[in-house]
Structures are given as C-alpha cells and as structure tokens.
Amino acid sequence: MEAVKGASHLYEVERRTTHAERPGFRINEIQISPSQKVPWHYHNNVQDVFYVLHGRIRIFLRDPKEEVRLGRGETFAVRPKRPHLVINGGDTSATFLVLQGIGEYDFVSADVRHSAILPASH
C-alpha cells in the first residue's frame, strides 16, 4: 500500500482538531462515535501516542497481535511500522489525543485479511 501524507480524507470521525503541528511532530484531537474507527494502518517513521480525554477506546495491534483498552487519562504508544486499528470501546463518543513524532508523518493502510484479533463486527 502507498503511504499518504494526510489521512483525514480516508476515514470519517465526529471531530478532528489539530492542536499543534511543526516539522516532525503534531498533536491531533479525534472524537469518534461508538460505530466509527480509525482503520488499520501504520506509520513508517513516527510513533502514535494515544491519550484518552473522554470515553474509552480499544486499540488492536499486529506484530505481535495485541489488544489494548484505554479509559480517561490513560496512554499507550504504538511504535513506527506496527499496524494498528482504533475503535470506540464504549457506547458513547470517545475523545482522544494522538501525539505523532518525531519524524516525517505518513499513513499507510494495512491489509487485514490475515488478522483474526478484531471482532467480526469490525
């Protein structure tokens, strides 16, 4: 899959706000409904650090397969090149920060045909 520099057009969210952006680093705030997700992807050069402001999220990861559940005030970092997917972990909207850096941002869609970690409904 080809890397893209901006991913906002690739998936729908309730709200997306950029709080800071400079070469090599950015902070985005994302709000997703219970039925929305950030699809499987990875970044070649930057890590994602998730910080939950409201609600709950579930992060599914590959290489190795893992599931992380986060609530308000909790964080988790995903290293570069590790495929991951984010879904809402509750029945109300979830809001979280994503700190991305240090390095050049890209978004590479990840093939999920061989991943059995995600529930069938997603």
Give the class (CATH, top level) of 15-109: mainly beta
Beta bridge partners of 41: 84, 109
Which pLDDT belongs to residue 73?
98
What mean pLDDT value characterizes the chain? 87
* pLDDT band, very low/low/confident/very high, at 112 (cuts 50, 70, 90): low
pLDDT digits (tens, 9 = 90+) for 7-24: 556 788 999 999 999 999
Predicted pLDDT at 2: 56
Q: What pTM value is reported for the model?
A: 0.84
43, 68, 96, 97, 109 from 3: Cα distances, Å: 8, 25, 24, 22, 7
What is the domain partition of the chain in residue ranges?
A: 15-109
Predicted pLDDT at 110? 87
Joined tokens for residue 43: 């970044």
Does 72 score more than 70 pLDDT? yes
Give 97: exposed, middle or buried? Use CB within 10 Å, 0-12, 13-18, 19+.
middle
